[in-house]
Amino acid sequence: MALPQSWLAPPPAPSAEHAALAAARQQVLTKPPGSLGQLEQLAITLAALNGTDRPTVDPVRMVVFAGDHGVCAEGVSAFPQEVTAQMVANFAGGGAAISVMARELGASLEVVNLGTVGEVPMLPGVIHQIIGPSTANMAEKSALGTGQVAAALTSGDQAAERSANAGCRLFIGGDMGIGNTTSAAALACALLDLPPERLVGPGTGLDSEGVTRKARVVSKALARHGDDRNALSVLTSLGGFEIAALTGAILGCAARKIPVLVDGFIVSAAALVAVSQQPGARDWLMFAHRSAEPGHDAVLEALDATPLLDLGMRLGEGSGAAVALPLLRAACALHNNMASFADAGISGKSGE
């Protein structure tokens, strides 16, 4: 299977013209300049990404990608692999955190099953694009084959295409895969040349002994992988089905001029791969929250990202991005609907 075009070609640049128009509007609204803090810059950023001086993030598309990880054979998770398939059913049944938030926020939700150890029946809202029952154990050999990584990237690109066809103005990607914090940590270590001890965390709730064991597993995988920093090589060797699909979705959205609100550690690791491959994709990313997973800080720093929230969340699924979504909506509403000084007949700032 060939790699998607969004992997191979740089994405378009945001509109500098509309960013300038939005910045000029912020200066004449009935408030002291800068008094809305990050909300002002959010509006300007979204104007550039939307290609309009009156930005919006609606409609919103949320897509959760699910896949199992062979590295779980090394005892890196506090939960059994069967949970991945069970949570896919929970997403479809409306009982998961992201399902609740999608309903609450009026966003459409898709779940893409890329391959789980447990069986997932045909369920409404679940798209089955099975690559395999799980990745291989990355501590022993490459997690994905070349055909598998291409299939996962293509699945993500197709999700971006569906979002574009539905007229979506914001994309939120989510993850589900027991063992995926191990994969994300290994990816980040390889791309950033950082030691596992700095990036490996408890994931679903490992104790200190479990975290130490997990770091040893990541070290073993990195030693097997070697020094290759090529984005595709690293993703193939150390990634997961769902992380590769998220990477494809991020690049696919950037190629189609759809802004992406990035969730926590797993999605940020996918963003790191995406930006390593296409640096211009960084312009299309906003970052929702700072995860409690310790490796997230290093990834955010590498991406020059300041997240909107810091709530100690580490659930995944896209849940942190969903919680941050109302801030983007508020930024757009304030920018678009506040009166200017001239509109309201209010005197502006006096000259010096």
Which residues are tagged catalytic? 317
Question: Do the Cβ atoms of 250 and 161 come closer than 8 Å?
Answer: no
Give the DSSP letter of residue 340: B
Cβ burial 130-161 (10 Å sphere, 16+ → b, else e): ebbebbbbbbeebbbeeebbbbbbbbbbbbbb
For tokens 């299977």, name the residue. 1
Residue type, 305: A
β-partners of residue 65 are 112, 175
For tokens 């066809």, name the residue. 165
Q: Three-state SS for 132? A: coil
Question: Do the Cβ atoms of 14 and 281 come closer than 8 Å?
Answer: no
Rounded Cα–Cα distance for residues 198 and 242 (Å) = 23
Ramachandran angles phi, psi of 64, nearest 5°: -105, 125
Helices then strands, counting H and E runs in the chain, come out as 15, 6
Residue type, 212: T
Q: Which two three-digit tokens encode residue 154?
A: 């293509």
* Integer angstrom CA distances of residue 62 from 77, 81, 100, 227, 314: 26, 24, 12, 35, 18
H or E element in which residue 342 lies: helix 341-344
Checking phi first, is residue 167 left (phi over 0); if not, alpha (psi -120 to 50) or beta? Answer: left
For tokens 């059913």, name the residue. 89
